[in-house]
Every structure is written in structure tokens, then in C-alpha cells.
Structure 1
Amino acid sequence: MENITTTLLEALNSTVIAAATTMSTTTTSTTSNIMEWPLDVITNNSHDRDTMSLIITPLALASKHSKHHHNIHPEIVTPVTLSSEWSRLSRLIFLTILSVIGSIGNIFMISSVMIEDHLKKAGNSLIVNIGLTDLVVTIVVIPISIVSLLAMNKDDDVAPLSVCKFQWFLAACAFLVSVLTLAVTSIENYMRLCTTQDGTQQWFSRSNVTAIILLIWFIGCVASGLQYVYDVSFDYCKRKDDNNSNLLPFETGVLVTLILLPLLITFLVHIRIIIDAKKFMSQPSFKPNATYKSDFSLVRSNFYSFLTFVLFWLPFGIAFAISVTTSPKNISDKVFYFTSWIGMTKSCFHNIIYCITNRHFRNAYVNLFNYCCCKTTVSTTRRRNNDVTRSDVRVHIIPGYNMYSYTSPQRATHGHSWAKRECHEL
């Protein structure tokens, strides 16, 4: 009998140990302690086994639930919805502020060239083109993230892959168009200041500038559209590491021909403009007129705009170079996507550079602000001949509504000499 009892106990012991080992691999470390239980505890009566199961089962379930919860809610950083460390409301407020401020500033920047007489030149259409690229970011790219945050479920922080690809297509297109436009703008500024006016009118007439702008947009859309349609680019949204070596020649070609070379040309041409302009001004026989000084001030603002562009996009350029040439794992998603958003926020603050550094843009900004926020009606009165100081002339800043403007029908019917002067008063 003793041998039979011993054999039964050994079989029961081996069975319990095998069951405990299986549970330890699927649940938590708490259940793995079953293997260390003594045999007399396991072979106790059924009441003790039921009591023990009531104690162990909640502990195992709680440990398993906590582990599962930890894996579901890690920190998520995506190029569309930013970091999950921030609450959804804070991200919505932040992106909305960027979109509203940037859109208003870019609209002011574009409108300034249209209403300010000193800025109405064919070459300044290139500045308008830069404002359009910034407007694409502030009025389309950033609102895509806002809509994605509003459309997603409460516990979902990952936008669809198609949304990310379309957003990156627009951002990359705006980036390439800005780089090429900055290079062409520097060349136009050099020909305006350092060459004769005939050469400037020949190369940068209204029709030629329009053709150049359309060509720039075509190149930018094609280069960025390849990665959107055919995935002929590095994987910005998923950042996979399996095909970077095959795409390195394409990335190198785009980087050198459409980014590095135009940026280098822009920098060298601006340096040449500064050197030649100072050389001309140092000559005793050279007396710059008001137009030359105004153009030189605008060139200086364009150079500050170029430096701002480089400053905002340089962190992402470094992260991008390390990620493409080595491995995406060397740069975390948080660093990679945050630096890309730093570059895109350039579109929200770029228009402020012209307001600060150029008085013509600053005057146009003030007139636009007064027109949009301060004026509700338009009142016009004829100026008295005997009392000029007490006259009250308030006219519309749009030339078509200004009776003293060169485009108004009132001026066309009067041949007085005083009608040749423009009057823009608010």
C-alpha cells in the first residue's frame, strides 16, 4: 500500500508541476510561484484548493490586464496628430492657432504686393509665390491634422496612412517650390540692382515671371508626386528600414539638384548683391535714388527670409540625412516628426519677417489691418480750396473706390494737375 500511495503522489506531483509551468508562460510571474508550492499544500482537501484558486485567479487576471493595458497605451508620435503625450484638446488649440495666425499673415503678405505702389513690380510676384506656398501649409496641411483629430475615436491616435501620405505630398511640394523660388528671387534681385534695367525687363518681364512660376510648381509637384503615387522616396509615414538602400540614388538626386544647389545659389547671389551694392554706394559719383534704396531694402528682406527658411528647416534636414544614410532607428519618431513640424511652422511666421524688415510691407499691413478691422463705412468729401488743413478725406484703399486714384473714373474726367497725385488716407 505504501508503494502504491507513493506512486500516486509522485504522479500527482509531476502533473501539478507541468500545469504550473504552462500557466507561468501565458500569464504573469505571480502564477509561476505555483511550481514552488509544497506537495502537502497541493494534496490538501478540496475546500483549501477552492480557497487558493479564489486568491490566485484575481491576482493573475489583474497582472495580465495591467500588462495588456501598458502595451495598448504607449506614447504615440505620428506626423498627422503629433504626440499622444499632449491631450487632444491642447493639440487642437495649438494647431488651430497656427493655422489662423499663419493664414491671416500670408494673406496680408500677398495682398501687400497688390495694394502697395512701391511693391507693384513683376519680380515681386516671386515673393507672392512664396506666400502662396506658405498659405498651402497653413490653410490645407495644418487643417488636415485638425480634421483628423476631430474625426478619430476617443482612444485612437493613429490617422489613416493615406491621410499622412497626402499631407506629406503637399508639405514636400510647398518645400521644393519655396526653395526654387528663393533661388530665382535672388537672381532677379541681382539683375535689378546690379545690372541695367533693360536686362531686368528682358529676363523678368511679367510674362517670363509667370512662366517661371508655373515651371517651378510643375517641378515641385512632379518631384513630390512620385513619392505619393509610386512610393519612389523614403518612407516618411511608416519609416521602414528595408528599402532605404534602393532609394538612396533618387534621394541623392533630389537633394542635390532641387535643394542643396538652389540654396547654395541663393546664398552666394545674396552675398554678391551685398558686395556689389556697397561698392556702388562707396563711389563718389554714384548717388542712389529713392527707388534704388527701396529695392535694396527689399533685397535685404529677401535675404532675411532665406535665413529664416534655413533656420526652421535645418533640424529636420539633419534628422533626415541621418535617417536616410544610416537607419531610421537612429532617429526616434518623436525627434523626426517634431523637427518636420518645426520646419512647417515656418509658414506661420515667415510673413512677419517682411513686416519687421521692410517699411513698405509694414505700411501695407497697417492699411490692411485698418481696412479689415477698423473701417465699417466709406465716407468721401471734396477737399476745400481755401482750407486744406481742415478737410476730412476718407477714401477706400482699393484703387477702384478711390476717387483720387489713377484708376478711378473721376480722375479720368478731370485734367487738373493736382489730380496726378495719389491720395491713400484712412
Structure 2
Amino acid sequence: MLLLVSTLAALGTLGNIFAIAAVMTEDHLKKKGNVLVVNMMLAGLVVSAGVLPTWVVALLAGWASPTPVCCASWLLTTLAAHCSLLTLPALAWENSARVAGRSMGVVLLAAMVGISWVSAGAITISQWVTGIGPKHCNHQPPAHPAVHTAFTSAVGVMLVAAPLVIALSVHAHTLLAGRGGPRRPLPATMKPPQALTRDLALTGTNLIVTAVVGGCWAAGVAADWWASVSFRYGVAWLPVAAATASGFLYAAHKPFREAYIQLFHYCCCKTSVSLSRRGRGGEAAAAAAAAVAAAARPASDVRVHIIPGYNMYTTASTREHRPPTHTHVKAPRSKDSRRPKHHHKKDVYEL
């Protein structure tokens, strides 16, 4: 179990970070609207980098269930679930506007991101303050079953099921209308066909992510309200699956996949070291040699210069008491100076 949780935490964190880095580095993904994709990845990082390490601590400490970190971990899980579910309709709306040739402003996108986190925080805190939130860490039945059922039903329908259904419907409508389906066509777009094709491909990928990840988030939150005690341990893995798989599902989109490959090569495979020493031919020759080497060297290589360092075997006292030498005064040569000197000390270099 420790190996499984550690692997899921590492894979989930790596996938979410790669997805965020792909949006920041890939030219086709540098769109304002993709900040909503980054927001979903941040919600996944809350679980993969915040919740799963607490599970590792509980396993290493040998705590019995419910563990002392159970409430904190499920508080973060509920926060990430509501934030991700509230981001899905905004992402679907942005994709629909992008395919139709309209672009959302930065202020509107920032408001969407802020509202998703503020609303998720308010919902999560209200659930845990009132004591009618998810009961994963509390095996006792609710004190007021009628109030608990009414609250969970309202929250489950309005804030869990409704955002998921709206996001799936908008994504499906965008794909059908953008590809000339039987639905009402969207307004005419001025985009070239290649850009429109990429936007539709990203919309299809977002539809897959919404169905899989959103379904896991919704099932993990809703089933924990109404499931029996023995079934809650299986339900606890659904948010973990959502946080782990969200970054890797975007590999179905070609720009994301190419960015992942480039990032993997940059981090793991294509890091080479070139060792060089500057010659004594003057600054012009050194600059020319550096220009030729830079032109011949691939862009992904890392060049390391090894320069002569400080001679640690020469103390400050010997340097201070050394007689001064002048370039215009020629020192007399003695018999010892005519003999070849053998230096047994190695050169000292600094990397």
C-alpha cells in the first residue's frame, strides 16, 4: 500500500506539472482560455501533492483508521473536487466561444478562476462547520438524518451533478456544431481551418477529461455522502484517480503530447555536457570559437566551462612574502633554474 500511494502521488504530481508546463511552453497551447486547464491541474495537485503525502505519513506511522490526518486530507479533497467541478462548465463555455471565433477577456477568466476557488472553499468550510459534510472519517450516523439528506441532495444536484452535466452538454454541442452536425450551427468564425481543427481537437480532449475526471470527482464526493461504511474505502480512491489521471489524459491531444515528449527529453534524456577550455589566442579568437561552437551545438545541450581555479596549495603568507617581479627587469639565471623542474602537484580546477 505504501508503494502504491507513493507511486500515485509521484505520477499525479508529475502529470499535473507537465500539463501546466505544456500550456506555458507549447505555442499552440499559449491561449488565455487554457488558464482554466491550469486551474484544473492545480486542483489535482492539491490531492497528489497535498493529500497523498498525508496518507504516506499515516501508513508509516501505523495509525489505525480513522487517522489523525483523515479530516485534513478529506477537507483538501473536498476543496479540490468542488473547485474542479466548478471549473468544468467555465472551460466548456470558453471552448465554445473559442470555436465560434470569440475570445474571453483576461478579467473574465481571472474572475472564473477566483470564483471557483472561493466558492469551493465556502462550500467545503460550510459542510465541515455544520457537520453535514462527507462522513469518511466519521463512522457514526448523522445526528439529523433529514437535514443531512436534504443538504446533501441539494449540494449533490446543484454543485456536483449540474456542473458535470452542463459541461458535457456544452462540449458535445460545440463539437457537433463545429463539425457541421445536426445541431444549430455556431456563428461564423474567421479562423483558418487549421486553427479551427486544433480548437475542435482540444474541445474533444476536454470532453474526454470532463467525462472521466469529472465523473470520478462527482462520484467520490457524492458516494461518500450516501455510501455505507464498508463501501467508503473504495470510494476514497476515485478522487485519487481523478487527480492522477487528469494530466495524462491530455496526452490524447497532439500539442500536449508533443510538449510532454519535449519536456521528458529535456528533463531526462537530452541533457549532455560539453567540456571546453578557453584558448590563449586572444578575445577575438575566443569569441569566434564560441560562435562556431554555439552554431554546431544543439539548442538543448548544456555547456559547462572548466576554468582555472584558485590554487589552494599556495597560502596567503607565501604570496605576501614573495619578492615582487617586474616585467622589464630580467632575473639572473642560476644553475638551478637551468635544470628541468618536475612538478608533481596536479592542476586544480574549479567547475
Distance of 1:170 and 1:292 partners within structure 2: 38
- Cα distance in 2 for partners of 1:371, 1:181 equals 31
Judging changes above 3 Å, is the alpha-carbon distance between structure 1 residues 381 and 260 closer, same or farther for their aligned structure 2 residues? farther
5+ unaligned residues in a row in structure 2: which ranges?
275-288, 302-351
1:300 matched to 2:204: yes
1:383–1:346 CA distance, 2 compared to 1 (3 A): farther
Shift of 1:217: 0.2
Is 1:103 the equivalent of 2:13? Answer: yes
Partner of 1:260: 161
Residue 29 (structure 2) pairs with residue 119 (structure 1): yes
Superposition deviation, residue 321 in structure 1: 6.2
SS at 1:233 equivalent: coil
CA shift digits 1:33-82 (9 cap, x unpaired): xxxxxxxxxxxxxxxxxxxxxxxxxxxxxxxxxxxxxxxxxxxxxxxxxx
TM-score norm. by structure 1 comes to 0.60
Please give the secondary structure, in 1, of the residue aligned with 2:271.
coil
**Does the 8 Å contact 1:313/1:340 carry over to 2?**
no
1:227 CA displacement: 2.6
Work out the percentage of aligned pairs sharing the same amino acid: 29
Give the distance between the partners of 2:219 and 2:96, measured in 1 at CA.
29
Q: CA deviation at 1:308?
A: 1.1
Q: Is the 8 A contact 1:105 1:348 kept in 2?
A: yes
Deviation at 1:314, TM superposition (A): 6.3
Whether contact under 8 Å (1:134, 1:347) holds in the other structure is yes
Is there any run of 5+ residues in structure 1 with no aligned partner, and where? 1-90, 324-330, 385-390, 398-426
Larger radius of gyration, structure 1 or 2? 1
The answer to whether the aligner puts 1:249 opposite 2:187 as a matched pair is no
- The offset of 1:231, in angstroms, is 1.8
Report 1:322-333 matches (<5 A).
Answer: 322-323=226-227, 331=228, 333=229
- Equivalent residue pairs, number: 281
C-alpha displacement of 1:339:
1.8
1:345 to 2:245 alignment: no
- Say whether the 8 Å CA contact 2:9–2:53 is kept in structure 1: yes
Q: Deviation digits for residues 285-317 of structure 1, max 9, x if unmatched?
A: 999522111111111110110111245356546
Q: CA 1:319–1:250 in 2, change beyond 3 Å: closer, same or farther?
A: closer
Tell me the amino acid that sits aligned with residue 237 of structure 1: C
Counterpart of 2:106, as a letter, is R
Task: Kindly indicate whether the alpha-carbon contact (under 8 Å) linking 1:166 and 1:228 is maintained by their aligned counterparts in 2.
Answer: no
Cα distance in 2, alignment partners of residues 227 and 294 from structure 1:
41
Structure 1's 382 and 209: CA in aligned 2 closer, same or farther, altered over 3 A?
farther
Per residue, is there more helix in 1 or in 2?
A: 1
Structure 1 SS opposite 2:179 = helix
Determine whether 1:215 maps to 2:122: no
Name the CA distance, whole Å, in 1 between partners of 2:258 and 2:118. Answer: 34
Partners of 2:297 and 2:209 lie apart in 1 by: 37
The question of 1:178 aligning with 2:84 is answered: yes
Structure 1 residues 317 and 214 mapped into 2: Cα distance closer, same or farther (>3 Å)? closer
- Give the match for residue 216 of structure 2: 312
Deviation at 1:169, TM superposition (A): 0.8
Alpha-carbon spacing, 1:213–1:339, altered in 2? closer, same or farther (3 Å): same
CA distance in 2, matches of 1:178, 1:314: 10
- Are positions 1:275 and 2:275 aligned together? no
CA spacing shift, 1:174–1:316, aligned 2, 3 Å = closer
Partners of 1:257 and 1:314 lie apart in 2 by 12
Among residues 126, 129, 142, which one is paired with 1:226 in the alignment?
126
The answer for the alignment partner of 2:310 in structure 1 is: none
Change (3 A) 1:305 1:242: closer
SS at match of 2:65: coil
Evaluate the alpha carbon distance shift between residue 221 and residue 359 of structure 1 in structure 2; reply closer, same or farther with a 3 A threshold: same
1:130 maps to 40
Question: Structure 1 residues 254 and 369, CA, compared in 2 at 3 Å: closer, same or farther?
Answer: same
